[in-house]
């Protein structure tokens, strides 16, 4: 039976093999020798040998120190058995440089079914192996960092996340592949932030910002994030790479610190520093809006006697109770500031004297009717004043302080109003 190849001129077959992209090697079937009978141009280019340096020799001349002996043993067994072989290992060029080869060897039978030759189709896969090694190294490096890394395609579909992402968000790789990073949105972020982000990225520029995301266990995550668009040779965006660092612990600590600085640890009232800022803000708002503003200075009567008689622990208990009572008695937009040792400054936003006097009296009476262990009944003396159109803030405070002094000297447990 004639095959298609039998109708083709052998010179055409030889020409085709010589122009083949893959390396082709033909050896005889003499066991133990397997002498090279033919090597095409691709094989010569791959190995660096001339044809006359290969013909009649065994292909073992290509082997070297890094050649895998197990692969060679398997190859020899296949040759002995007359079966097909497929494998890869490291061979060496004529100049001694190694390369990774992948090859298939098949037996060639004559019309009687006898094996007469072996033909080997080979390919240098060094670049492919290097690329795979680089990819593995790249993934290893990304997984070694504690920062989260997300790679998406141009439409925002997640294609890769590293171990840092899993640690920060709680989501595993299989849970996020094919999804969009918007799955992490917490709802706490200003929508304008995302609008600005996309406007920047669509221009091919990197975007850096702090995002409030939500983890798998529904906790807020504060992330310092940099998103970079990747482009092809035609400057078309193909991917986005996001690298983010978990700032949650630091931000929560800062918030806690700010709260500690803002509020007096004993009384829960604003500290003097935070109170001065609140007072300045109320003053500027009153000036800008033309709305009234009143303040009061409240001082605990005979507080020194409480400390001297019952000790500072009893005094601290009284301070805390007085502050809590005043905060509870006032409106949400009023402020209670620990102005001095046992002195508190109260801010009544949007209130004139007629409106602020009942508030001040409400505070005083709330304190008067409370009984304290050891100290008994505690009272307040209060000075109250309304900001005047041409009055500076220090002048208002001084005027209210004088009203407090009058309340003290007039029998205590009362509110004195300063009218200008």
DSSP string, 243-279: EEEE-HHHHHHHHHHHHHHHB-TTT-SBPHHHHHHHH
Q: What is the torsion angle, in degrees rounded to the nearest 10, for the CA atoms of residue 271, residue 272, residue 273 and residue 275?
A: 80
CA–CA distances in Å: residue 156 to residues 24, 161, 171, 228, 239? 45, 13, 17, 12, 8
Is the domain covering 4-124 a CATH 2.40.10.480 domain? no
CA distances, 204 to each of 192, 199, 200, 224, 238 (Å): 19, 9, 7, 20, 11
Tell me if 344 sits within 8 A of 366, measured CB to CB: no
Low-confidence residues of the chain, pLDDT below 50?
1-2, 4
3-state helix, strand, coil in the chain (%, to 5): 45, 30, 30
The DSSP element (H or E) to which 40 belongs, if any, is: none
Where does CATH 3.30.450.20 sit in the chain? 4-124, 130-251
* Predicted local confidence at residue 261, as pLDDT: 66
pTM, rounded to two decimals: 0.45
Q: 318: which residues sit within 8 A by CB, 6+ positions away?
A: 300, 303, 306, 372, 375, 378
Tokens of 28: 């005889």
CATH of region 130-251: 3.30.450.20
Give the model's pLDDT for residue 4: 45
Where does CATH 3.30.70.270 sit in the chain? 263-418
HEC-encoded secondary structure of 315-326? HHHHHHHHHHHH
Burial class (CB in 10 A: 0-12, 13-18, 19+), 104: middle
CATH code for the part of the protein at 263-418: 3.30.70.270
Residue 59: count of CB within 10 angstroms of its CB: 22
| Two structure tokens written together for 168 | 């920060």
């Amino acid at each position: 039976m004639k095959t298609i190849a039998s109708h083709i001129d052998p010179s055409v077959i030889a020409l085709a093999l010589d122009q083949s992209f893959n390396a082709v090697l033909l050896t005889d079937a003499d066991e133990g020798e397997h002498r090279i009978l033919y090597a095409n141009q691709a094989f010569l280019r791959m190995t660096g040998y001339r044809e006359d340096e290969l013909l009649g020799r065994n292909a073992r001349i290509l082997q070297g120190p890094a050649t895998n002996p197990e692969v060679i043993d398997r190859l020899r067994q296949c040759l002995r058995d007359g079966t097909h072989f497929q494998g890869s290992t490291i061979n060496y060029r004529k100049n001694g440089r190694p390369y990774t080869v992948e090859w298939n060897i098949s037996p060639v039978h004559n019309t009687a079914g006898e094996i007469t030759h072996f033909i080997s189709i080979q390919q240098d896969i060094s670049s492919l192996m290097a690329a795979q090694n680089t990819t593995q190294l790249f993934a290893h490096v990304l997984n070694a960092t504690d920062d989260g890394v997300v790679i998406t395609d141009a439409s925002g579909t997640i294609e890769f996340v590293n171990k840092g992402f899993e640690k920060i968000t709680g989501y595993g790789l299989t849970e996020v592949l094919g999804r969009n990073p918007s799955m992490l949105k917490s709802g706490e972020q200003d929508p304008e932030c995302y609008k600005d982000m996309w406007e920047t990225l669509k221009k091919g520029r990197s975007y850096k910002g702090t995002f409030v995301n939500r983890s798998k266990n529904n906790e807020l995550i504060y992330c310092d994030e940099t998103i970079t668009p990747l482009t092809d040779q035609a400057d078309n965006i193909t991917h986005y790479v996001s690298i983010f660092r978990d700032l949650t612990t630091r931000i929560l600590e800062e918030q806690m610190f700010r709260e500690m600085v803002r509020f007096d640890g004993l009384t829960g009232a604003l500290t003097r520093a935070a109170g001065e800022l609140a007072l300045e803000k109320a003053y500027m708002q009153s000036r800008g809006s033309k709305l009234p503003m009143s303040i009061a200075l409240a001082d605990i009567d005979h507080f020194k006697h409480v400390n001297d008689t019952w000790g500072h622990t009893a005094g601290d208990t009284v301070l805390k109770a007085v502050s809590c009572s005043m905060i509870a008695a006032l409106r949400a937009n009023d402020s209670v500031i620990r102005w001095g040792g046992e002195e508190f400054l109260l801010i009544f936003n949007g209130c004139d004297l007629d409106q602020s006097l009942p508030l001040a009296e409400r505070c005083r009476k709330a304190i008067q009717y409370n009984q304290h262990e050891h100290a008994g009944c505690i009272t307040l003396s209060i000075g109250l004043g309304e900001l005047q159109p041409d009055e500076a803030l220090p002048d208002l405070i001084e005027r209210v302080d004088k009203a407090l002094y009058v309340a003290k000297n007039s029998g205590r447990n009362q509110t004195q109003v300063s009218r200008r």
